[in-house]
Amino acid sequence: MIQGKIEGDAEVAVRSFGKIEEAATGQLSFLANPKYEEYLYTTGASIVIINEAQELKQKVNATLIRVADAYSAFAALLSKYQEILGEQLTGIQEPVYISKTAKIGDKVFIGAFAYLGEQVVIGNNVKIYPQVFIGNGVVIRDNSVLLPGVKIYQDCIVGKNVTIHGGTVIGSDGFGFAPQADGSFKKVPQMGNVVIEDNVEIGANATIDRATIGSTIIRAGAKLDNLIQVAHNVEVGTNTVIAAQAGVSGSTKIGNNVMIGGQAGIVGHIQIADGSKINAQSGVSKSIKIPNSAVTGSPAFDYTSALRSQAVSRNLPELEKRIKELESLVKQLLAEKV
């Protein structure tokens, strides 16, 4: 499964996972970060996955599996283990509400107190945990997982192999209000939907608003952390990652392979080029047009320039002192010249 090379007892068995510094007999662990190397020689783990290039400085009691990338290999095993556990979870618990017009695939799990509305389509191997709400016309494709308390409003589409964590709301109304002459605001109906493509993961308590017209789109492979706000008509590109508490305003288009740090804020109706990196707590107020740019600050600007500015600002007291000394010296020279 992980294309590894075994060093040690090839018959050893494990039944669970553990951190290398805490693992016990019968557990599998891994070493990817060099700062934890000391634990390789003291760990109680029965098997440790290590990088091919790892050099041993002492005797290791555990069986080793050498791979190209220990972190990725360990993640692959965790995913397989989770998949095995998921395969054991099938059937429909009671009580639930499932509309007579809903279509349910094979090997589906539907937890207690779930609600499936009219014309819902559920693919094969989908896991719907307790207290999930699925509105009318929603489509959930194969192998997707909706964890407890997820809410998906009408007509939204969820692709294959998507995981949505507890408390997240997909398809709530976008924030659209038209100002009136008397100072009040009139709600603009939000008639679109949300489309989540394949292999997306969305953290807990995130909100993705439906489009006013058309679709809010989360492209394939995107990963969204907990507590993220994605507004109406936003597009999030393929394999883009967004960290917790970030917010994206309406109609902004985010490119592919973009990295957005925690608590970053992005205004509406702009474009973020492919490969952009937006530092945590940055405020992006205009389009990033050059691919692979890195920005920081509020308003956000070039990352390298921002670091230089920060370095200068830290030295301002010393610079002020030197300027005053120079001014004093100039006055003395002028006085002597007179």
Rg (CA), the chain: 27
And the tokens for 215? Answer: 């679709």
Find out whether 193 and 170 touch, Cβ atoms under 8 Å: no
The region that residue 241 occupies, defined by phi over 0 for left and psi between -120 and 50 for alpha, beta otherwise, is beta
Cα separation, 67 vs 76, in Å, equals: 12
Residue 165 is a catalytic residue: no
And the tokens for 128? Answer: 């719907």
Cα separation, 204 vs 97, in Å, equals: 24
Q: Choosing from 127, 160, 165, 232, which is the catalytic residue?
A: 232
Cα separation, 243 vs 234, in Å, equals: 16
Enumerate the active-site residues.
Answer: 232
